[in-house]
Chain A
Amino acid sequence: MSRIEARFAALKQEGRAALVTFIMAGAPAPATALKILKGLPRAGADVIEIGMPFTDPMADGPAIQAAGLRALHAGQTLKKTLKLVQDFRAGDKDTPIVLMGYYNPIYVHGVEKFLTDAKAAGVDGLIVVDLPPEEDDELCLPAMAAGINFIRLATPTTDDARATAVFRNTSGFVYYVSVLGITGTKAPDLKDVARKVRRLKAHTALPIAVGFGVKTADQARTIARVAEGVVVGSALVSAVAATLTKQGKATAKTAAAVHRVVADIARGVRE
């Protein structure tokens, strides 16, 4: 059983949803990113997604785009992102880590080498935004063969016909993107989310985590009632941005600000 599967199974026993938190690797700078990452589990994160920065993040909104660029300007690379996971893993054997990003840096690193390096660093799952089921041969099937979960995005445009393809080769959990559009720009319609999650459950037995747009403990609480996971991303990235100096440098407040938002939303998930 992978760390992801173990974590969702344990939370099911507890009778609550998972809080899935997203941070950008290397943002605003490598040392701060590691400090933020290390404090996430204690603040209430159950699963951690780490963004692999890319120059052209087609599916992300302004907050996550800016975080990615800050990381790249601070010199972040895919190798450094894997090192970040390794450093975290040295002190935490249980919290699942999912890398999230775009295909090109992985393709250029070499798929086989990437999977070997990721597994060794302690990566448990991958979300690669620009690899739909049509491109499963590229990374999805090799990743699953290497024992790394390949997590799929489902969206409001995922109708019943599309769901069959989307859930054919996937594992770990399903990431349901609750609003059309890019990350972090609109608040989700919660009734609609509940309806859609029920429909997806007809197609998959995997846990469903709902993301995009969650900012408050109240929203998290409502989603936690209908899904197995609540994803918080842009709100954390914005919390980082709000503490930076004019030059975009981290301050003493940066990590604590992120942990405070996580703790608040975790309260919503756990109630």
Chain B
Amino acid sequence: MTDSLIPPNSYRTGPDEKGLFGIYGGRFVAETLMPLILELEGAYRAAKADPAFQAEMDFFLEHYVGRPSPLYYAERLSEHLGGARIYLKREDLNHTGAHKINNVLGQILLARRMGKTRIIAETGAGQHGVATATACARFGLKCVVYMGEVDIERQKPNVFRMKLLGAEVVPARSGSRTLKDALNEALRDWVANVEDTFYCIGTVAGPAPYPEMVRDFQCIIGQETRRQMLKQEGRLPDSLIAAIGGGSNAIGLFHPFLDDKDIEIHGVEAAGLGLKTKTKHAASITGGRPGVLHGNRTYLLMDDDGQIIEGHSISAGLDYPGIGPEHAWLNDIGRVKYVSATDKEALKAFQLLCQLEGIIPALEPSHALAHAMKLAPKKPKDHLMVVNLSGRGDKDIFTVADILGVKL
């Protein structure tokens, strides 16, 4: 463990050949899945090295997703907070309304290369499910989305969207009937349908190579931000902030900047009703400890016996009881600072952005905005801060109306 705590020459070389970032990550899966994830890893390496694959990605990112997404200077928000110049990376303007499509597009193009005809996915709030159903419709692939029974009830509009797009939505009825159980069901499906099925994971978690592969597909966020900031301000940003559930939008923004050691990087977990409640939050790093779940070692929410505890957050996209293994490592070596924001703080930030910038953010990035509200006033006027606005808030208006006591 001590070896992994020595600062490396570069923070961007992981994972190693065992799929490890320090002690985190790995391939903790049943033997049945091993041949599949090794096959996937080989196929991914080949695709990554193939200019034709990259060209195909670039084409669809531009013409189908609508990239590059703007890097927008939030003038009134910056003036209101009275410190840093705040830029918003507008992933909310992507097709399907969030960063999720970047990763899905990559995995679906890879599945096509591998000759797979059936795509399975898990979803919590439904954003990854909608993105997967969208890409499957575009490429004529059969799509099955596992979703916890509780989430199906909470996220009816997204369930209907997936069905419109031709996906089959299968309720996960086991365990706590939420995202983690949907993931278990998807893994069970994959084990039973190894020949034709590709498992499209929605975040930077799961067994190797998923954390690396999903990160690579999301790095377009940080790569564009670099270019855009250089063009608009003539230099790199001073700080980056992103919300973290599994951590894919965050690692996508952070990774291209990890070796620019003067840049402060903040990952914001969901503190729900507060970390002191012990179980009513979803902050795996700031409120959990290392364990093994869903194919990787990482920080988890669990009890003393190692049983997994369901996370809580106002945002259904953040209430996963784990976090991507690369984040776990970046925390331990101190390159990224992991903090948290409560439901209340996120809700306040959500309303502020609506009022000052005319942008309705999703509740997930509202956690990042909540941290920006704390940090920006302490920074000088020439401090350049980037907040990843990972998704739009249309899906959340029901939740917010409910909390504000408004009947729709």
Residues 136-193 (chain B) with a chain A CB within 8 angstroms:
174-176, 180-181, 184, 187-188, 191-193
Residues 168-188 (chain A) with a chain B CB within 8 angstroms:
177, 180-182, 185
Contact status of A107 and B291, CB under 8 A, knowing A59-B188, A154-B31: yes
Residues 144-182 (chain A) with a chain B CB within 8 angstroms:
152-155, 157-159, 162, 166, 177, 180-182
B54-67 interface mask toward A, CB cutoff 8 Å, 1 = contact, 0 = none?
Answer: 00000000000000
Is the beta-carbon distance between A135 and B291 smaller than 8 angstroms? no
> Counting CB contacts under 8 A, is B9 at the interface?
no
Cβ contacts under 8 Å, B36 to chain A? 157
Cβ contacts under 8 Å, B31 to chain A? 132, 152-155, 157-158, 166, 177
Cβ contacts under 8 Å, A2 to chain B? none
> Counting CB contacts under 8 A, is B73 at the interface?
no
Q: Which of A50-58, A225-233, A235-243, A245-253 contacts the other chain?
A: A50-58
B282-322 interface mask toward A, CB cutoff 8 Å, 1 = contact, 0 = none?
Answer: 00000000011111010010101111100000000000000
> Counting CB contacts under 8 A, is A134 at the interface?
yes
Is the beta-carbon distance between B306 and A107 smaller than 8 angstroms? yes
What's the least CB distance linking A207 to chain B, in Å?
A: 18
> Counting CB contacts under 8 A, is A109 at the interface?
yes
What's the least CB distance linking A186 to chain B, in Å?
A: 8
Q: Which of B21-29, B111-119, B356-364, B392-400 contacts the other chain?
A: B21-29
Cβ contacts under 8 Å, B32 to chain A? 59, 153, 155, 157, 177, 180
Cβ contacts under 8 Å, B302 to chain A? 104, 108
What's the least CB distance linking B269 to chain A, in Å?
A: 20
Q: CB-nearest residue of chain B relative to A66?
A: B174
Neighbour of A58 across the interface among B188, B194, B304, CB < 8 A: B188
> Counting CB contacts under 8 A, is B234 at the interface?
no
Cβ contacts under 8 Å, A159 to chain B? 35
Cβ contacts under 8 Å, A157 to chain B? 31-32, 34-36, 194
Chain A interfacial residues counted at CB < 8 A: 44
Is the beta-carbon distance between A56 and B308 smaller than 8 angstroms? yes
Complex Cα distance, B29 from A59, in Å, reads: 9
Complex Cα distance, B36 from A103, in Å, reads: 21
Is the beta-carbon distance between B175 and A69 smaller than 8 angstroms? yes
> Counting CB contacts under 8 A, is A192 at the interface?
no
What's the least CB distance linking A142 to chain B, in Å?
A: 15
Chain B interface residue count: which class?
Answer: 35 or more
Is the beta-carbon distance between A77 and B305 smaller than 8 angstroms? yes
Is the beta-carbon distance between A180 and B192 smaller than 8 angstroms? yes
Neighbour of A107 across the interface among B18, B191, B292, B294, CB < 8 A: B292
> Counting CB contacts under 8 A, is A141 at the interface?
no
Complex Cα distance, B193 from A103, in Å, reads: 24
What's the least CB distance linking B297 to chain A, in Å?
A: 8
Cβ contacts under 8 Å, B187 to chain A? 58-59
Is the beta-carbon distance between A104 and B306 smaller than 8 angstroms? yes
> Counting CB contacts under 8 A, is A131 at the interface?
yes
What's the least CB distance linking B328 to chain A, in Å?
A: 14
Is the beta-carbon distance between B28 and A131 smaller than 8 angstroms? yes
> Counting CB contacts under 8 A, is B406 at the interface?
no
> Counting CB contacts under 8 A, is A78 at the interface?
yes
> Counting CB contacts under 8 A, is B30 at the interface?
yes
Complex Cα distance, B299 from A108, in Å, reads: 12
Contact status of A56 and B294, CB under 8 A, knowing A65-B175, A104-B308, A108-B306: yes
Complex Cα distance, B184 from A85, in Å, reads: 29
> Counting CB contacts under 8 A, is A121 at the interface?
no
B6-19 interface mask toward A, CB cutoff 8 Å, 1 = contact, 0 = none?
Answer: 00000000000010
Is the beta-carbon distance between B307 and A55 smaller than 8 angstroms? yes
Complex Cα distance, B184 from A154, in Å, reads: 21
Contact status of A62 and B306, CB under 8 A, knowing A132-B30, A162-B34: no
Cβ contacts under 8 Å, A58 to chain B? 29-30, 184, 187-188, 294
Q: CB-nearest residue of chain A relative to B180?
A: A56
Cβ contacts under 8 Å, A166 to chain B? 31
Residues 232-275 (chain B) with a chain A CB within 8 angstroms:
none
> Counting CB contacts under 8 A, is A72 at the interface?
yes
Complex Cα distance, B207 from A131, in Å, reads: 12
What's the least CB distance linking B289 to chain A, in Å?
A: 8
Q: CB-nearest residue of chain B relative to A79?
A: B305
Neighbour of B26 across the interface among A102, A109, A135, CB < 8 A: A135
Cβ contacts under 8 Å, B35 to chain A? 157-159, 162
Complex Cα distance, B32 from A180, in Å, reads: 8
What's the least CB distance linking B57 to chain A, in Å?
A: 29
Complex Cα distance, B29 from A109, in Å, reads: 20
> Counting CB contacts under 8 A, is A129 at the interface?
yes
Residues 103-138 (chain A) with a chain B CB within 8 angstroms:
103-109, 129-135
Complex Cα distance, B194 from A30, in Å, reads: 37
Complex Cα distance, B32 from A154, in Å, reads: 8
Contact status of A130 and B30, CB under 8 A, knowing A104-B292, A104-B293: yes
Complex Cα distance, B34 from A177, in Å, reads: 14
Cβ contacts under 8 Å, B306 to chain A? 54, 78, 104-109
Neighbour of B174 across the interface among A62, A108, A131, A154, CB < 8 A: A62
Q: CB-nearest residue of chain A relative to B291?
A: A104
Complex Cα distance, B139 from A107, in Å, reads: 42
What's the least CB distance linking B304 to chain A, in Å?
A: 8
Starting from the known contacts A78-B305, A105-B306, A177-B32, 14 additional A-B residue pairs (CB-CB under 8 Å) come to A58-B294, A59-B30, A59-B32, A59-B188, A102-B292, A104-B306, A105-B305, A107-B292, A108-B306, A129-B30, A131-B28, A132-B27, A180-B193, A182-B191
Sample (23) of A-B pairs whose CB atoms are under 8 Å apart:
A55-B175, A55-B176, A55-B308, A56-B181, A56-B293, A58-B30, A58-B187, A62-B174, A65-B175, A66-B174, A104-B292, A107-B291, A130-B28, A130-B295, A131-B28, A132-B27, A132-B28, A132-B29, A132-B31, A158-B31, A162-B35, A180-B191, A181-B192
Q: Return the 3 tightest CB-CB contacts between A and B, nearest first.
A: A181-B192, A108-B306, A105-B306
